[in-house]
Amino acid sequence: MRINILGSSSSGNATLLVFGTTRVLLDAGFSVRELARRLREIGEDLARLSAVVLTHEHTDHIRSVPRLARALGIPVFISRASCEAWNRMNPTDPIHAAEYIVAERPFQIGPMTFRPFAVPHDAADTLAFTIEAGGAKVGYVTDLGYIPQLVGERVRGSDVLILEANHDVEMLRNGPYPWSVKQRILSRHGHLSNDEMARFLREDFDGRAEHIVLVHLSRTNNHPELARLAALEALGARGSAFARDAERRVRVAAHDRPGPWIEL
Protein backbone atom coordinates (compact mmCIF):
# COMPACT_ATOMS: atom_id res chain seq x y z
CA MET A 1 0.00 0.00 0.00
CA ARG A 2 1.13 3.58 -0.68
CA ILE A 3 -0.16 6.55 1.30
CA ASN A 4 0.08 10.27 0.71
CA ILE A 5 -1.32 12.88 3.07
CA LEU A 6 -2.27 15.58 0.59
CA GLY A 7 -2.64 18.15 3.35
CA SER A 8 -4.08 18.46 6.83
CA SER A 9 -5.17 21.15 9.27
CA SER A 10 -8.38 22.44 10.83
CA SER A 11 -9.15 24.02 7.46
CA GLY A 12 -8.73 21.04 5.13
CA ASN A 13 -7.90 17.32 5.17
CA ALA A 14 -7.34 14.69 2.48
CA THR A 15 -5.30 11.49 2.31
CA LEU A 16 -4.75 9.24 -0.70
CA LEU A 17 -4.43 5.45 -0.29
CA VAL A 18 -3.22 3.40 -3.25
CA PHE A 19 -3.04 -0.35 -3.67
CA GLY A 20 -2.71 -1.76 -7.19
CA THR A 21 -5.17 0.15 -9.33
CA THR A 22 -7.42 1.06 -6.37
CA ARG A 23 -7.13 4.69 -5.30
CA VAL A 24 -9.19 5.87 -2.34
CA LEU A 25 -9.43 9.41 -1.08
CA LEU A 26 -9.92 9.44 2.67
CA ASP A 27 -11.64 12.76 3.44
CA ALA A 28 -11.74 15.52 0.82
CA GLY A 29 -11.68 18.88 2.59
CA PHE A 30 -10.19 20.91 -0.26
CA SER A 31 -11.79 22.40 -3.35
CA VAL A 32 -11.84 20.18 -6.45
CA ARG A 33 -9.30 22.45 -8.08
CA GLU A 34 -6.96 22.32 -5.09
CA LEU A 35 -7.29 18.53 -4.83
CA ALA A 36 -6.48 18.20 -8.53
CA ARG A 37 -3.43 20.41 -8.08
CA ARG A 38 -2.11 18.45 -5.10
CA LEU A 39 -2.68 15.10 -6.84
CA ARG A 40 -0.80 16.34 -9.92
CA GLU A 41 2.05 17.39 -7.67
CA ILE A 42 2.55 13.75 -6.57
CA GLY A 43 2.08 12.28 -10.04
CA GLU A 44 -1.55 11.27 -9.52
CA ASP A 45 -4.75 12.31 -11.23
CA LEU A 46 -8.23 13.09 -9.98
CA ALA A 47 -9.75 11.02 -12.80
CA ARG A 48 -8.11 7.86 -11.48
CA LEU A 49 -9.83 7.91 -8.07
CA SER A 50 -11.92 4.83 -7.27
CA ALA A 51 -13.90 6.08 -4.27
CA VAL A 52 -14.09 8.60 -1.43
CA VAL A 53 -14.40 7.55 2.22
CA LEU A 54 -15.48 10.13 4.80
CA THR A 55 -15.04 10.40 8.55
CA HIS A 56 -17.85 12.95 9.08
CA GLU A 57 -19.69 15.92 7.59
CA HIS A 58 -17.55 18.84 8.81
CA THR A 59 -16.49 21.03 5.89
CA ASP A 60 -12.76 20.53 6.43
CA HIS A 61 -13.31 16.85 5.49
CA ILE A 62 -16.08 16.97 2.92
CA ARG A 63 -15.84 20.29 1.04
CA SER A 64 -15.58 19.07 -2.56
CA VAL A 65 -17.20 15.66 -2.19
CA PRO A 66 -20.61 16.32 -3.76
CA ARG A 67 -19.03 17.95 -6.84
CA LEU A 68 -16.27 15.37 -7.04
CA ALA A 69 -18.70 12.45 -6.86
CA ARG A 70 -20.96 13.99 -9.49
CA ALA A 71 -18.08 14.79 -11.83
CA LEU A 72 -16.30 11.44 -11.52
CA GLY A 73 -19.29 9.17 -10.85
CA ILE A 74 -17.45 7.47 -7.99
CA PRO A 75 -19.04 6.12 -4.81
CA VAL A 76 -18.94 8.05 -1.52
CA PHE A 77 -18.70 5.93 1.62
CA ILE A 78 -20.21 7.87 4.53
CA SER A 79 -22.44 7.15 7.52
CA ARG A 80 -26.14 7.79 6.97
CA ALA A 81 -26.30 10.33 9.81
CA SER A 82 -23.33 12.30 8.44
CA CYS A 83 -24.75 12.27 4.92
CA GLU A 84 -28.18 13.42 6.09
CA ALA A 85 -26.64 16.16 8.23
CA TRP A 86 -24.62 17.45 5.25
CA ASN A 87 -27.60 17.31 2.89
CA ARG A 88 -29.81 19.14 5.42
CA MET A 89 -27.28 21.95 5.77
CA ASN A 90 -26.37 22.07 2.07
CA PRO A 91 -29.60 21.46 0.14
CA THR A 92 -28.17 22.93 -3.06
CA ASP A 93 -25.06 20.75 -2.96
CA PRO A 94 -26.23 17.33 -1.77
CA ILE A 95 -24.38 14.02 -1.79
CA HIS A 96 -26.10 11.48 -4.00
CA ALA A 97 -25.08 7.88 -4.50
CA ALA A 98 -23.77 7.43 -0.97
CA GLU A 99 -22.78 3.99 0.24
CA TYR A 100 -23.79 4.03 3.89
CA ILE A 101 -21.20 2.73 6.30
CA VAL A 102 -21.64 1.83 9.95
CA ALA A 103 -19.21 1.71 12.88
CA GLU A 104 -17.98 -1.81 13.56
CA ARG A 105 -19.04 -3.05 10.13
CA PRO A 106 -15.99 -3.59 7.90
CA PHE A 107 -16.33 -2.92 4.18
CA GLN A 108 -14.23 -3.57 1.12
CA ILE A 109 -13.05 -1.26 -1.67
CA GLY A 110 -11.18 -3.46 -4.13
CA PRO A 111 -8.34 -5.06 -2.16
CA MET A 112 -8.65 -2.64 0.79
CA THR A 113 -10.52 -3.58 3.96
CA PHE A 114 -11.85 -0.59 5.89
CA ARG A 115 -12.85 -1.09 9.53
CA PRO A 116 -14.78 1.93 10.81
CA PHE A 117 -15.20 2.67 14.51
CA ALA A 118 -16.91 5.51 16.36
CA VAL A 119 -14.94 8.34 17.97
CA PRO A 120 -16.17 11.10 20.34
CA HIS A 121 -16.61 14.30 18.28
CA ASP A 122 -19.30 16.95 17.84
CA ALA A 123 -20.63 15.79 14.46
CA ALA A 124 -23.57 13.53 13.62
CA ASP A 125 -21.62 10.26 13.63
CA THR A 126 -17.84 10.53 13.43
CA LEU A 127 -15.84 7.51 12.31
CA ALA A 128 -12.17 6.64 12.42
CA PHE A 129 -10.71 3.77 10.40
CA THR A 130 -8.11 1.14 10.07
CA ILE A 131 -7.34 0.18 6.48
CA GLU A 132 -5.67 -3.08 5.56
CA ALA A 133 -4.30 -4.23 2.20
CA GLY A 134 -1.46 -6.51 1.15
CA GLY A 135 -0.58 -7.32 4.77
CA ALA A 136 -0.12 -3.66 5.76
CA LYS A 137 -2.31 -1.76 8.23
CA VAL A 138 -2.99 1.96 8.51
CA GLY A 139 -4.76 3.66 11.43
CA TYR A 140 -6.55 6.97 10.67
CA VAL A 141 -7.74 8.67 13.84
CA THR A 142 -8.72 12.32 13.70
CA ASP A 143 -11.45 14.62 15.02
CA LEU A 144 -11.99 13.29 18.51
CA GLY A 145 -12.03 14.87 21.96
CA TYR A 146 -10.06 12.08 23.64
CA ILE A 147 -8.85 8.58 22.82
CA PRO A 148 -11.11 5.92 24.32
CA GLN A 149 -9.58 2.54 25.18
CA LEU A 150 -11.36 0.96 22.21
CA VAL A 151 -9.54 3.21 19.76
CA GLY A 152 -6.19 2.13 21.15
CA GLU A 153 -7.21 -1.49 20.63
CA ARG A 154 -8.38 -0.89 17.07
CA VAL A 155 -5.17 0.74 15.89
CA ARG A 156 -2.95 -1.90 17.49
CA GLY A 157 -0.60 -3.42 14.91
CA SER A 158 -0.75 -0.44 12.55
CA ASP A 159 2.31 0.12 10.36
CA VAL A 160 1.27 3.73 9.86
CA LEU A 161 -0.56 5.72 12.50
CA ILE A 162 -2.19 8.96 11.33
CA LEU A 163 -3.21 10.73 14.52
CA GLU A 164 -4.75 14.09 15.37
CA ALA A 165 -2.68 16.64 17.31
CA ASN A 166 -5.02 19.62 17.07
CA HIS A 167 -3.94 22.11 19.68
CA ASP A 168 -1.60 23.05 22.44
CA VAL A 169 -3.88 23.64 25.43
CA GLU A 170 -2.05 26.79 26.56
CA MET A 171 -2.00 28.32 23.08
CA LEU A 172 -5.72 27.62 22.74
CA ARG A 173 -6.56 29.04 26.19
CA ASN A 174 -4.55 32.21 25.56
CA GLY A 175 -5.45 32.48 21.89
CA PRO A 176 -7.95 34.63 19.99
CA TYR A 177 -10.95 32.26 19.77
CA PRO A 178 -14.17 33.20 21.59
CA TRP A 179 -14.63 31.35 24.87
CA SER A 180 -17.51 29.21 23.55
CA VAL A 181 -15.35 27.91 20.70
CA LYS A 182 -12.47 27.24 23.08
CA GLN A 183 -14.81 25.21 25.27
CA ARG A 184 -16.06 23.25 22.29
CA ILE A 185 -12.55 22.36 21.15
CA LEU A 186 -11.44 21.42 24.67
CA SER A 187 -14.50 19.28 25.40
CA ARG A 188 -14.64 15.47 25.38
CA HIS A 189 -16.32 15.78 21.96
CA GLY A 190 -13.91 18.35 20.56
CA HIS A 191 -10.40 17.91 19.24
CA LEU A 192 -7.31 16.07 20.41
CA SER A 193 -4.72 18.15 22.25
CA ASN A 194 -0.98 17.55 22.03
CA ASP A 195 -1.22 16.34 25.65
CA GLU A 196 -3.86 13.71 24.92
CA MET A 197 -2.02 12.58 21.78
CA ALA A 198 1.17 12.25 23.86
CA ARG A 199 -0.67 10.42 26.66
CA PHE A 200 -1.83 7.86 24.11
CA LEU A 201 1.72 7.35 22.79
CA ARG A 202 3.03 7.06 26.37
CA GLU A 203 0.37 4.74 27.76
CA ASP A 204 -1.53 2.82 25.07
CA PHE A 205 0.46 2.81 21.83
CA ASP A 206 1.91 -0.60 20.96
CA GLY A 207 5.11 0.92 19.53
CA ARG A 208 4.83 -0.87 16.20
CA ALA A 209 4.11 1.88 13.68
CA GLU A 210 7.15 2.78 11.59
CA HIS A 211 5.40 6.00 10.63
CA ILE A 212 3.52 8.25 13.04
CA VAL A 213 2.04 11.24 11.22
CA LEU A 214 0.47 14.00 13.31
CA VAL A 215 -2.43 15.66 11.52
CA HIS A 216 -5.23 18.23 11.85
CA LEU A 217 -3.01 20.80 13.56
CA SER A 218 -4.73 24.08 14.23
CA ARG A 219 -2.84 26.87 12.50
CA THR A 220 -3.92 29.26 15.26
CA ASN A 221 -3.57 27.09 18.36
CA ASN A 222 -0.66 24.81 17.66
CA HIS A 223 2.82 24.77 16.24
CA PRO A 224 4.23 21.78 14.31
CA GLU A 225 7.36 21.70 16.44
CA LEU A 226 5.35 21.66 19.71
CA ALA A 227 3.25 18.72 18.52
CA ARG A 228 6.29 16.85 17.28
CA LEU A 229 8.23 17.42 20.51
CA ALA A 230 5.27 16.20 22.58
CA ALA A 231 5.24 12.97 20.55
CA LEU A 232 9.02 12.50 20.75
CA GLU A 233 9.00 13.07 24.52
CA ALA A 234 6.19 10.56 24.96
CA LEU A 235 8.04 7.91 22.99
CA GLY A 236 11.27 8.72 24.82
CA ALA A 237 9.50 8.11 28.14
CA ARG A 238 8.69 4.56 26.98
CA GLY A 239 12.33 3.48 26.84
CA SER A 240 14.71 2.62 24.07
CA ALA A 241 12.48 0.29 22.03
CA PHE A 242 9.95 3.08 21.57
CA ALA A 243 12.46 5.89 21.27
CA ARG A 244 14.28 3.95 18.50
CA ASP A 245 14.42 6.10 15.43
CA ALA A 246 11.68 8.34 16.86
CA GLU A 247 13.13 11.37 15.06
CA ARG A 248 12.63 9.60 11.76
CA ARG A 249 9.33 7.93 12.57
CA VAL A 250 7.40 10.99 13.79
CA ARG A 251 6.30 13.57 11.22
CA VAL A 252 3.82 16.42 11.12
CA ALA A 253 1.58 16.73 8.05
CA ALA A 254 1.70 20.13 6.35
CA HIS A 255 -1.50 22.06 5.70
CA ASP A 256 -0.51 23.51 2.34
CA ARG A 257 1.17 20.73 0.39
CA PRO A 258 1.32 16.94 0.02
CA GLY A 259 3.78 15.07 2.20
CA PRO A 260 6.22 12.40 1.00
CA TRP A 261 4.82 9.03 -0.10
CA ILE A 262 4.75 6.42 2.63
CA GLU A 263 5.40 3.02 1.02
CA LEU A 264 4.48 -0.16 2.86
Binding site for Zn ion (CB under 5 A): 58, 60, 143
Q: Which is nearer to Zn ion, 80 or 244 (CB)?
A: 80
- According to DSSP, residue 96 is labeled P
Q: Which residue is nearest to Zn ion (CB)?
A: 58
| Other CB atoms within 10 Å distance of the CB of residue 41 | 12
Q: Dihedral sign for Cα 188, 124, 79, 58, please.
A: negative
State the minimum distance, in angstroms, from the CB of residue 236 to Zn ion: 29
Q: Which is nearer to Zn ion, 58 or 115 (CB)?
A: 58
- According to DSSP, residue 221 is labeled T
Q: Which residue, among 260, 252, 189, has the nearest Cα to 218 in the 3D structure?
A: 252
Q: Which is nearer to Zn ion, 84 or 143 (CB)?
A: 143
State the minimum distance, in angstroms, from the CB of residue 216 to Zn ion: 6
Q: Which is nearer to Zn ion, 132 or 143 (CB)?
A: 143
State the minimum distance, in angstroms, from the CB of residue 146 to Zn ion: 14
State the minimum distance, in angstroms, from the CB of residue 189 to Zn ion: 10
DSSP for 15-80 reads EEEEETTEEEEEEE-S-HHHHHHHHHHTT--GGG--EEE-S-S-HHHHTTHHHHHHHHT--EEE-H
Q: Which is nearer to Zn ion, 1 or 214 (CB)?
A: 214
Q: Dihedral sign for Cα 72, 77, 79, 80, please.
A: positive
State the minimum distance, in angstroms, from the CB of residue 246 to Zn ion: 26
